[in-house]
Amino acid sequence: MRKTNFTGHPDARSPKGNPLAWLNLLLLSIVVLACNYIGCREYARTDLSEQESYSISERTLNVLSSDRVQKREKPIRIIFAFQRTATGYARMYSLLEEYKRHGNGKIEIECFDPLRDPNSARQISQIYGVEFDQNLCVIDAREDHTKPLETFEEERSDRKHVRIRPGASFMKYEVLPDESKRIVALMMDEVLCSAITEAVEGDMRRMYVVEGKGGVSRDDQTLLENLGLITGSLNIQLSWINLNEIEMMPENAEGLIIVSPQTDFTEDEMRIIREFWEREGRNAVYVALDPTNTKLPMLYRFLREQGIRPNADRVLLQNRKRAYYDISAVMPKGLLCTKPFWNNTTHVDGQSMSFTLEHGDENMAAIRKLTTYPLLMSTDEYYGETSKDLEPSFNPQEDKPGPLCLQAAVTRGSNNDPNNLSTMIVTGNIDMLTKQNARKEQTDYIRSLWAWMMHRPEYAGKSANQDLTFKIDLNRHTRSAVEHMTLIIMPLLALLIALAIWNTRRH
């Protein structure tokens, strides 16, 4: 048989060009080049941690985007002189990158390890006069960052635009039973944001705390601890004042604070308060009432004139044989500065007094341009107890049914003219002012209200979650369920298992 090799058709061996394949290759190249170009120009970063531990707070974003920062000619210089072995260094460095990214060129970051880079430490020490015996962070909002700082004594010193924060202030410590300390939270974002605010503004605003009426004094400032931290973060300086020793409020006073007065005000003292409340300009008044002391007729009368009537009661939970002061409260809609908190819930510890928002004369209130706002409302299951019984019960004829107003605000003037708007906040709970009872959401809420009072809406907002250890906050229903589980159900279950094992072995 003759063997032949089949070679096929001659045209089958020559490949033909496919125009569609070349077009797809060209389009793929264009897509790859476009993605690389967009990726280089548009930088996106996402925090995938559950608690958003590597993100800066809403309040910090508001500060960085404010005109005070964005309209600067020179950027703000942040010098982060920390050892790399410091606790939370990687997390702090990540937060600094967020500051730089959201600063839009107005934040300049410089990081170095003083032990590994002694030349930089020596240069920074010569400019700012600091010793690197500990971790430091310098915030410089001057026009010339290379100029050495002037002395404290000079009136025109630019030192007021420089803030130096030790590394220990970036941490929150908890004292253990053996008197040792452990780090429970990273406070860098809160401390750094406050330092930027102070450095940019320089001069601090002045608010006066009334003394001589009990409640707070120079020797006992327990009720002012948390309030002082809030006002300090807004670059507000608190000073003491005795209304009995002055004829009128100082000209530099932008606010008046009355905390837990135990004795009533005199006619002359109330005249000073009224003149300050009604004078031209932006004035703020903050009043915190002690629910256990209701004998303040002069002060109560002044509050009623503004549309806030103290009810002189105790806010209690219904259907309980004893007083229960753990109050579930809601932050209602109202002021725009509190929009991030609208309809959020919180638990108010300690005894509270309720308020009724009403004007005795609506026409007069309209002439005076008075507007009231509820800031904190209890739920329906609470009521206002007017008696002092140890075993109170709800009486519809005497007591006030819920929901009740626990905190209120009033403005005098037009919101369209914020430079001539007087603001007042009245709260019926003083335990919220103490550090041990203040909750995070309450502190953020009060800070936002103070930012509104001082005409600084850009400083409002929620702070970042910076806990390094987690604390579970349970309401009363959950706590009750946990107590029943641990005290009754689990021991009973263990007993049943033991009986079953004993019975099995017995047989």
**Is residue 280 domain-shared with residue 407, that is, in the same domain?**
yes
Digit-coded pLDDT (tens) for 336-355: 888 888 888 888 888 889 99
370 located within any domain? yes
CATH code at position 87:
3.40.30.10
Closest CA to 428 of 370, 473, 365, 378: 378
pLDDT value at residue 154: 47
Evaluate whether 280 touches 420 at the Cβ level (below 8 Å).
yes
Does some domain include residue 366? Answer: yes
Q: Sorting pLDDT into bands at 50, 70 and 90, what band is 16?
A: low
CATH classification at residue 369: 3.40.50.880
Task: Name the least confident of 45-59, 75-89, 185-199, 244-258.
Answer: 45-59
Size of the chain in residues? 507
If we measure between CA atoms, which residue out of 251, 296, 301, 295 comes closest to residue 274? 301
Q: Is the dihedral of CA 129, 134, 140, 145 positive or negative?
A: positive
Amino acid at 19: P
Residue 187 lies in a domain: no
In 3D space, the residue among 101, 89, 14, 109 whose CA is nearest the CA of residue 56 turns out to be 101
State which of 459, 474, 492 marks the end of a domain.
459
CB 462 within 8 A of CB 339: no
Choice among 140-154, 212-226, 295-309 with the minimum mean pLDDT: 140-154
pLDDT tens track for 440-468: 888 888 888 888 888 887 788 877 766 55
How confident is residue 47, by pLDDT bands cut at 50, 70 and 90? low
Residue 13 placed within a domain: no
Which residues span the domain enclosing 120? 58-172
pLDDT score recorded for residue 503: 83
Query: Same domain for 278 and 323?
Result: yes
Secondary structure element (H or E) that encloses residue 232, with its range: helix 225-233
Q: What percentage of the chain reaches a pLDDT higher than 90?
A: 18
Q: Are residues 127 and 221 in the same domain?
A: no
Q: Which of 172, 196, 225 delimits the end of a domain?
A: 172
Say yes or no: 122 and 248 in one domain.
Answer: no
As a whole number of angstroms, the distance between CA 279 and CA 285 comes to 12
Residues 240 and 373 in one domain: yes
Per-residue confidence (pLDDT) for residue 298, from 0 to 100: 93
For residue 407, being part of any structural domain is answered with yes
In this prediction, residue 2 carries a pLDDT of 54
367 and 231 belong to one structural domain: yes
Spatial strand order in the sheet of 400-401:
314-317, 382-385, 400-401
Q: How far apart are CA 244 and CA 213, in angstroms?
A: 10
Tell me the C-alpha to C-alpha distance, in Å, between residue 408 and each of 228, 359, 372, 377, 388: 21, 14, 7, 9, 24
Indicate whether 413 belongs to any domain: yes
Position 74 in a domain? yes
Clarify whether residues 155 and 252 are in a common domain. Answer: no
Please indicate, yes or no, whether residues 155 and 279 belong to a single structural domain of this protein.
Answer: no
Domain count across the chain: 2
Chain Cα centroid distance, residue 122: 36
Full 3-state SS string of 9-36? CHHHHCCCCCHHHHHHHHHHHHHHHHHH
Whether 289 and 212 share a structural domain: yes
Quick one: pLDDT at residue 170?
85
Mean pLDDT score across all residues of the chain: 83
What is the 3-class SS of 257-287, one letter each residue? EEECCCCCCCHHHHHHHHHHHHCCCCCEEEE
- Tell me if 442 sits within 8 A of 432, measured CB to CB: yes
**Same domain as 230, residue 137:** no
DSSP lists the bridge partners of residue 309 as 356
Highest-confidence segment of 15-19, 264-268, 398-402: 264-268
Residues 339 and 292 occupy one common structural domain: yes
| Tens of pLDDT, residues 152-167 | 544 456 788 888 888 8
> Where a domain ends, among 459, 476, 491?
459
Q: Sorting pLDDT into bands at 50, 70 and 90, what band is 426?
A: very high
Judge if 96 and 223 occupy the same domain: no
- Contact call for residues 394 and 383 (beta carbons, < 8 A): yes
- The pLDDT value recorded for residue 401 is 86
The predicted pLDDT at position 153 comes to 45
Residue 1: per-residue pLDDT: 47
Whether the pLDDT of residue 15 is over 60: the answer is no
Neighbours of 207 (CB within 10 A): 24
The SS3 assignment for 244 reads helix
pTM: 0.76
**Would 40 be classed as within a structural domain?**
no
* 411 close to 370: Cβ distance less than 8 angstroms: yes
**Distance (Å) of CA 244 to CA 213, 241, 348:** 10, 9, 34
